[in-house]
Every structure is written in C-alpha cells, then in structure tokens.
Chain A
Amino acid sequence: MAANSHGKTNGSTRWVGTRPVRPDGVDKVTGRARFGADVHLPNMLVGKVLRSPHAHARIRSIDTSAALALPGVKTVVTRDDFNDLPSEFVPAGEMLVNYRDVVRNVMAREKALFEGHPVAAVAAVSEKVAREALALIKVDYEVLPHVLDVVEAMAPDAPLLHEDMITAGVDPAPTTPSNVAKVVEFKIGDVEAGFAEADIVIEREFSTQPVHQGYIEPHSCIANYSEDGQAELWCTTQGHFVVRGHCAKLLGMDVSKLRVTASEIGGGFGGKTVVYLEPVALMLSRKSGQPVKMTMTREEVFQASGPAAGTRVWAKVGMTNEGRITAGEAVLKYQAGAFQGSPVQPGCMCAFAPYDLAHVKVVGYDVVVNRPKVAAYRAPGAPQSEFAVESIIDELAKRIGMDPVELRLKNAAKEGTKAAYGPTFGPVGLVETLEEAKAHDHYRAPLKPGQGRGVASGFWFNIGGETCATLNLGEDGTIALVAGTPDIGGSRASLCLQAAETLGVDVERIRPLIGDTSTLGYTFLTGGSRTAFASGMAVVEAARDMIRQLCERAAKIWDIPAEAVEWIDGEARPAGSNAGEFEPLSLADLARLAGKSGGPFVGRAQINAQGAGPSFGTHIVDVDVDRETGRVTIERYTVIQDAGKAVHPSYVEGQLQGGAVQGIGWALNEEYIYDDKGRLQNPGFLDYRIPVCSDVPMIDTVIVEVPNPTHPYGVRGVGETPIVPPMAAIANAVDSALGLRFTDLPMSPPRVLKALGDARVPEAA
C-alpha cells in the first residue's frame, strides 16, 4: 500500500487502478465547461474564411476592395499578409509538417489546391456582415485539371500540384517533378529468400477511403492582438504549445509574446494537432486592432480539415503449411492531401509489427492529391496498412484450416523480437491479448446461422517527448496540478491518480488544470497516446520533487538530517534511529507550517519522456449480413488490449470502445464522395456516416496489463491501438459469413449487395 520515500510502489497501488469521478465531469454534463467557441470578449469581431470552390486553380488575382468598403467590415486578410516561409520540417504529433506548406495551407498563395482551401478572410462586426463581405471578394481563378486518386496522381501525365516537387528518398534523384513527395523503405532480412521458404503465398491489393476524425466540436478560436505586439489566443487544440510555435512562426512573433490557452476540447483524435484558423484570426486581430473569433461550420470542417489518408496497399505474405510466416512484403501508397506529409512512414513501420518475422520489406509512397491536407487520426497510417496484412493473415489461416488466433500466437511478436523498422521490443503484450481472446467467452460462443466471426490484431508504437508539470501545494494541504497536455481522453483524472499515488494523498485533494503556454515550460501536444504516459511521468517526477522538499522541511522542523525522514502514506515520518521520536507531519501539517518554516512548496518536473511502451490489441467481432440489402450489422464486439497499467480503468475502457467504434465506421460506411469537379458532396454528418449509438452493440473490453518498465506504474499509451484492428476484423468476419473477401473499404450496403450479386452470377449460369 505504502509508497516509500522515493514515491515508488511496491507492486500494489492505492489510487492507480481505481475509478473516481473525473474532475472535469460535472462541468461537462452541466454545460459549464468552456469549449472552443465559448469564449467571448468585448468588441469582438467575427472572422469568416472565403474558400476555393475549385479543387485545383491558379489564383491570378484577389480583389478585396468591395468587401472592405462594406459597412461593418474591419479588415480583410489574403496571401499578401503572410510572409512566405522556407521549407522546414517540424514535428506535429506523430507526423511532420513543413512551414512552407503550413503557410500555404492556412492561406492559399500561388494556387488553390483543394475545394475549401482558404483564399481570403474577413473580420466584421457580425457573422452576417462577414458573410456578405465574402461574397464581395473577387477572385480570378484559372481552373486547372485536378486529381483525387492516389494511383492516378502517381501517373506520369497526372496534373501536378507542386511544379517543383522532386521525389525524396530515391537515388538518383528524379530530374522531373511529380506528385510523389517521398519514397520510404523499411527492410529486414531477404524477402525473396523468405518467400522461397513458403508453401503458400497470398498477395492482394487493398484500398481504404479517407475518413474524417469526426470530432463533434468544430475548430474554433479567438485571438486578441494588442498594440504592443503581444497576443492572446484561446482555441480548441490538442497542443497549445505547438499552436503557439506555428502561429509565432507564421506571424513573425517571439513565442513569449503569444499566450495560448487550450479550451476544453470536444474531440480531436489527432485532427486538432495542426493550425487552420488560428494564424488567420491572429492576423485579422493584428490588422483590425480588435479581438477576432472564428468558428468553422461543419461543412468547412469536412472540406478543409483532417482527414486520414486514403490509401492503396499491396501486400504479400508467405507461410509454411505448418503456419509459420516466412516473409511479408508491402507497397503502401498514401494520399497526403494537398501538401506532402501523409503518415505513410508509420504505416510502413506498423504493417508487420505484430509478427516476429525474419524477412520483411515495406515501401511507402507519400503522394499529393487535390484534397485537404491529411491530419493525424488515431494511430496515423497504421489502420490502413494493418488492414491489408491482417486480412491476408486471416486468409492464410483459413487456407490451412488453422484457428486465426493460433496462427497469430505461433508468429506473434514478443519481448526480444526485432521489428522491421528497427527496435527490438521490450516486454509487450500481444501474446497475452491473444491468450485472453482464446479464453474469452465471446470466442467460443456459438454463432447464429448466417453470422460470421473475425479476429484481427493491431499495433501502435506510442511516443513520449517533452513534458512539464507542476504541483502547487495550497496552504490547507490540497494541491493544484498543472499539466500542459490538453485532456482529450480523461487524462486529468489519470494524472491526479498518479500524483495521489506518489504523494500518498487522497485523489480528491488534487485539482487539475491544463495550464496555458506561459504557466509551464514547453510541452508537446496530446498525441501519440503519450499523455497518460509522459505527463504521468512528469507528474510523478513533480510529486517526488515535492516529497523531497517536504522531507527536508520536516527534517528542519525536527532538526534531524533530511536522510532520516521518510515519506509514507502522505506524511513525513522520522526514520532510522529517530523512528518514533517525533509525531509524523502530514501534507496538511507541512502546508500549514510552510510560511513559518521556509516558504511554499512547489513540485516541478521538466522531462523528455523516453521509453513509451508499444501497445498491442486483439479484437473479436461477430457480424450478421442482410443478404437482400447488403447491410452488415455488428452483433458482438470484444476489444482486448495491453494497457501496461490501467491508471483509470473506465477511461482505458472508453478508449478501447471509442477506437473500435471509429473503426467500425471506417469499415462499414465512412467515405468522402466527390463530384467530377472535385467538390465534396457529403460535407456533413447526415451523409458522412459515423456510427450512431444504436449502430453498435455494447463493446466489451478486456484490459491486459504487461507493465511498461520505463514508467513508474507501468503505463503504456492506449488511445490509438484500438482503431487499428477493426477494419480487418470486420472484413474477416464478413468473409466468414459470406465467403467473400472485401479488400476495398467501406463495406457499405451497395458494395456488399453488388458483391453478393456478382458472386451469384456464376451459380445461375
């Protein structure tokens, strides 16, 4: 139970692993919580963006004079207001962004590269006036041929988005430009030799559609730029320090002059790791001298933010008749959207990661197309490549009549496995999730006639990174916890639990806050499933810092050496030869005595968290297929995943369920529908179909705990892995039900009905 003087656990925990009510819960259910659009300032203007109606067009000229002349319009911003920036890559979540592209994505320069690309923005006294002003801006476009499909974009005669784009990663470098930004390759062993050992080789081509992160809260921010060149920005984001960096760069500001506050966030899923409105709102505020608020409509969210990359993936897997996988090879072609930077690299890294393979080769292409620039979406890049591999693994299992869980167990990555992308795994929990799957009641439950069951595993590597945290001890012994990672999945609850565990105090005495960019040192964004892990490590570090100070203070009060004081169960106790000599001093006692004994207590940590443990998961799904309408119904779904240690099990379960549900949408219905001019036909939740509650059964969860040795409580990130297996698990289940293998997503009713009809034709003939 007790923590020793270093705040380490002795295996069992008092707070970590419990399920208190989340500290942000009441405000959220009462409507008191302030989200992106809930901040209002005196003299606030409304900013609106004029967006390109064309998928691809050169911008010859922009005439804003009529808009500026409209009463109530305060200022207009176009490409002329932003300085061009040189090519420079910086991290954004698990992906990289290039400032040359960020400035162009925020406001089109030479060309509009997708429908919805911002071309100008207006700040006016009301939304109505702002909208009228947008209609008065005259843009002279030279409409150009566009390309939406990744394979078509790679063709030699495809319209070029960037006339100067020379493919990187190819030796020798090409002499002519193309839409292929980059080629990456990961290799281990010799795949030719591996395939030669195989008795069965299956290769197939797969496609996935771009899918939106589908956060309910649209992008929103309010900027307030003052006359002395300082500015405040409130926005809904997964990383306000990253927003600060991007905005300061685009506006030519010192980062110290820009204070960014993250609002409560109504969903992000990776999509709120980049900037869209924020630099524009700052520029409008700088030019108008008034606060400017901007909020996207849902249509704008779909046209111009996200999505995850649409892909074409070819994969090939070889296996012996005994079920030993001998080699895996894949070629991944990922849509980047209008600017380079698809998550094809993590896609390559994850493709075969669940398996202990001697021979792997994965080649990835990062390809620009006339769609919005892709953004991170939960395990960016991994669901697409693992869909392909996990589908083939299922087919191989069926080919030799082996149970698909057994086949995976036979080949599973484990501690000591060298992954094709470089690292050798430490303790990982894939085998444990597979064993749990095998033993689960779901896996043995009988199916009704016509139903099918599918299984798939998934992997995500998780990240750490730069992280700060502070614990401020109040005079009554309660604590304000300040973290810099916006809470998108219950992390405030989990950080409080980790602090309570380390300090040995009741979690109710710790109140968390996401500090703005001026209250803490640089803290990387919430992404890569890093927050419970990295901010957790920082909080534990800060708690240990505070314990050290508390022990020193007790020693001073007792007039004994600091080493002779230990911290147990939330109080300082004299130890060693002094044991029992003095009454213990509790946290509250020391807090009360702080002023008289040497001053306040502040625990601090600034770390670069290393050693994020990867997380593996295995999903089991039962489907029913309506043979007459093509509708696939998810009848039962179980997620089994390694959490390392579930700090707040309810929120781990929530992550597992949420990932599965988003994967179900990706598998069955979600897709972008464009007309022949490259205009999006379904920019809304009516026709872009994320699942509603009644579309899915209660998702059952099993948390496996294989501790991550680098985290004090064994935590691994859990938020991303659960979106990786669903697409293959469902396709494998549909194949079990119908004997039809779907390699193209989504498996929507028209596609399923058509495949059923096509399959019937030979019988009829």
Chain B
Amino acid sequence: MRYEAPESVEGAVALLGGGGPRGRVLAGGTDLLVQLRAGVVAPELVVDIKRIAETREIREADGMLVIGAAVSGAELGEHPVAKALWPGVVESAELIGSTQIQGRASLAGNLCNASPAADTVPALVAAAATCKIAGPDGVRRIPVEDVCTGPGQLSLGDGEFVVAFEFPKRPLRSADAYLRFIPRTEMDIAVVGAGVNLTFDDGGRCVAARVALGAVAPTVILVEEAGEALVGTTCDAAALQEMAAAASAACRPIDDKRGTVEYRTEVAGVLATRAAGIAAQRAKGSQ
C-alpha cells in the first residue's frame, strides 16, 4: 500500500486521478483505518489530505462559513463562530465517537464513509451546506445531499474529493439543531438522526424550514414535506405534529440489529419534533 500526503489540492487530484490504482482519501481516518485493520478494504493508494491547508481551515467571509474537509470535531467544537452560526452542525460533529476520535474525525470523512446513519449529514443537509469538490476538471459545487447515492456509494468521479463545506449566510432569527437516538448516551451509531434548520420572521412565523433524517433510508433524506409543514406557522404543537407525521411518512428504514422499521419510523417523528423545538428556541435567542 502506498501512502501519500500531498500539500496542494492539485497534488491530491493528480494522485487520485492519475490513472493508477483507485486511491482512498484519508482525512481523520477514523473509518478508513478501522476498515483497513478489519480487512474490509485493501486500497493500493491512500491519499492523506490533511496537509492541504484549505482542508484544515475554518473561514468566515461576509457572514458565510467555510469548513475544511479535514477539520476535526474537536476543532469545530472550539470554534466560537462555527458554534454561533451552525450549532446543529457542530453538535452533530461532536457526537461522533470518543474524545480521542474527536481529535481526528472530520465532516468530509463522515460524509464520504457514506453511511445512512452518519451523524453530521442530516445536520449538513438541513443547513443547506454545499460541498466544494476538486477534481481533474477543476472545482464544482453540489449540495451535500447529492454526494451519497446509497450505502457506501458516492457520486464523486475519479480523482474527485471533497475540499470544504460552504454554508449559506445565516439570516436573523435562524438556527439549527441535531438530535440522534442511540440506546446508550454516547459511543454509538444513530438508530435515527434528525437535523432541523429554521428561520423565523420578526412576527415569530417560520419562513424557512429544512428537516433531514438519518438512518431511516439508504441515504440521509431531506424531507421537504416536513419542512413545508412548519413554514407559515409559529411551530405550534399542531404544526409540529404535522411535521412529525411527514417525517415518519418519509422513512423507508430497514430492520437490523440497531432498530426495527416500526421503531425507527416512530422515533424519526419524535426526534424531528424535539430538534425543531431546540432550533426554534435557538432562533428566538439569536434575534
């Protein structure tokens, strides 16, 4: 196995798309190294992107946040601007693994591991974050929800990798939240995850809502009907109930060792409701 740690985006693209063996991208390595050790994958080339400065930066320009692909959960959790603008995204990243894992685990790694249960993905989708992707044909940008196409499946082409996540400008009276259900309190994988991002007008009426769910379908899903159930309301009990029903209705989960279809479907609505409550509280606090 060949290990490379290029210091530029172009260098990484050249390695990944160089016509040689298909490489695997290493950011924090908290999934890749485990899979290597378990013999699940045996790549001939591993490209470590952590030495590319852009992947390690958190930048804010004109109210818009950019988070590098390889920024760790611990770094994100200590970034005051990231926490203030996107508390839901930050809390989703901080839920992953142990303190040790937090020192390594990254948003891009969590996304590109392509697990339907990835914690940060529903939060990123709810946030309407965009992936900046570098490849042989240059840079392109796609919504986060378009990156994974199925369990373990990505829409990225040969030589492409995620460089950073770009977030829209945060309006006034707007906030996000992420909740997951696990049988334990930590060190576990989501049975259901729910990310909600809400924006209110000065009259307390919801003007924009995005609800995304994890672990209830082959990929993280953006449930537009759930968001629509909240828009135009004050997120009162009736609206939340309608939103929860829409969230549960969108679930297409499987029965597995982590949960049943019935359980995941019901709890998806519960978590979406609770996450919406937290997002609404935060939005009101942010005005």
Tell me the bound Cα distance from A753 to B258 in angstroms. Answer: 15
Given the interface pairs A629-B270, A753-B263, the reply to whether A673 lies near B257 with Cβ below 8 Å is yes
Beta-carbon contact of B185 and A695 below 8 Å: yes
Asked if B184 is an interface residue, CB under 8 A from chain A, the answer is yes
Shortest Cβ gap from B131 to chain A (Å): 27
Segment of A48-56, A395-403, A432-440, A684-692 in the binding face: A684-692
Asked if B247 is an interface residue, CB under 8 A from chain A, the answer is no
Residues of B within 8 A of A753 (CB): 263, 266-267
Beta-carbon contact of B184 and A695 below 8 Å: yes
Beta-carbon contact of A692 and B187 below 8 Å: yes
Beta-carbon contact of B188 and A686 below 8 Å: yes
Asked if A472 is an interface residue, CB under 8 A from chain B, the answer is no
Which single member of A669, A695, A754 contacts B262 (CB below 8 Å)?
Answer: A754
Shortest Cβ gap from B254 to chain A (Å): 13
Beta-carbon contact of A750 and B188 below 8 Å: no
Residues of B within 8 A of A321 (CB): none
Asked if B260 is an interface residue, CB under 8 A from chain A, the answer is yes
Which single member of A131, A629, A687 contacts B267 (CB below 8 Å)?
Answer: A629
Shortest Cβ gap from A151 to chain B (Å): 23
Residues of A within 8 A of B271 (CB): 629
Shortest Cβ gap from B182 to chain A (Å): 9
User: Quick one: CB contact mask for B177-210 with A, threshold 8 Å, 1 for yes?
Assistant: 0000101111111010000000000000000000
Which single member of A668, A669, A749 contacts B263 (CB below 8 Å)?
Answer: A749
Residues of B within 8 A of A750 (CB): 259-260, 262-263
Residues of B within 8 A of A757 (CB): 266
Number of interface residues of A (CB under 8 A): 23
Asked if A9 is an interface residue, CB under 8 A from chain B, the answer is no
Which single member of B185, B257, B266, B267 contacts A692 (CB below 8 Å)?
Answer: B185
Beta-carbon contact of B267 and A689 below 8 Å: no
Residues of B within 8 A of A83 (CB): none
Number of interface residues of B (CB under 8 A): 21
Given the interface pairs A673-B257, A750-B259, A753-B263, the reply to whether A628 lies near B186 with Cβ below 8 Å is no
Tell me the bound Cα distance from A629 to B259 in angstroms. Answer: 12
Tell me the bound Cα distance from A749 to B181 in angstroms. Answer: 10
Beta-carbon contact of B188 and A748 below 8 Å: no
Residues of A within 8 A of B266 (CB): 753, 757
CB nearest to B260 among chain A residues:
A750
Asked if A30 is an interface residue, CB under 8 A from chain B, the answer is no
CB nearest to A687 among chain B residues:
B257
Beta-carbon contact of B257 and A694 below 8 Å: no
Residues of A within 8 A of B181 (CB): 629, 631, 749
Beta-carbon contact of B263 and A692 below 8 Å: no
Shortest Cβ gap from B152 to chain A (Å): 17
Tell me the bound Cα distance from A682 to B257 in angstroms. Answer: 7
Residues of B within 8 A of A689 (CB): 183-184, 188
Asked if A681 is an interface residue, CB under 8 A from chain B, the answer is yes
Residues of A within 8 A of B184 (CB): 669, 689, 691-692, 694-695
Tell me the bound Cα distance from A165 to B191 in angstroms. Answer: 43
Beta-carbon contact of A669 and B185 below 8 Å: no
Given the interface pairs A681-B257, A689-B188, the reply to whether A631 lies near B262 with Cβ below 8 Å is no
User: Quick one: CB contact mask for B2-25 with A, threshold 8 Å, 1 for yes?
Assistant: 000000000000000000000000
Shortest Cβ gap from B132 to chain A (Å): 32
Tell me the bound Cα distance from A668 to B187 in angstroms. Answer: 16
CB nearest to B181 among chain A residues:
A629
Shortest Cβ gap from A473 to chain B (Å): 46
Tell me the bound Cα distance from A131 to B259 in angstroms. Answer: 33
Cβ < 8 Å to B, chain A residues 352-382: none
Beta-carbon contact of A694 and B186 below 8 Å: yes
Residues of A within 8 A of B189 (CB): 686-687
CB nearest to B263 among chain A residues:
A750
Cβ < 8 Å to A, chain B residues 242-287: 256-260, 262-263, 266-267, 270-271
Tell me the bound Cα distance from A749 to B263 in angstroms. Answer: 9
User: Quick one: CB contact mask for A663-683 with B, threshold 8 Å, 1 for yes?
Assistant: 000001100010000000110
Residues of A within 8 A of B262 (CB): 750, 754
Cβ < 8 Å to B, chain A residues 728-764: 748-750, 753-754, 757
Tell me the bound Cα distance from A629 to B179 in angstroms. Answer: 13
Tell me the bound Cα distance from A749 to B259 in angstroms. Answer: 9
Tell me the bound Cα distance from A12 to B188 in angstroms. Answer: 49
Residues of A within 8 A of B256 (CB): 681
Residues of B within 8 A of A628 (CB): 267, 270
Residues of B within 8 A of A669 (CB): 183-184
List 9 contacting pairs A-B, 8 Å CB cutoff, sorted by A: A629-B181, A631-B181, A668-B183, A682-B257, A689-B183, A689-B184, A694-B186, A750-B263, A753-B267
User: Besides the contacts A681-B257, A689-B188, what 14 more A-B pairs have beta carbons closer than 8 Å?
Assistant: A628-B267, A629-B267, A629-B271, A630-B263, A669-B183, A669-B184, A673-B257, A681-B256, A689-B183, A689-B184, A691-B184, A692-B186, A753-B263, A757-B266
The 5 closest A-B pairs by CB, nearest first: A750-B263, A694-B185, A628-B270, A673-B257, A681-B257
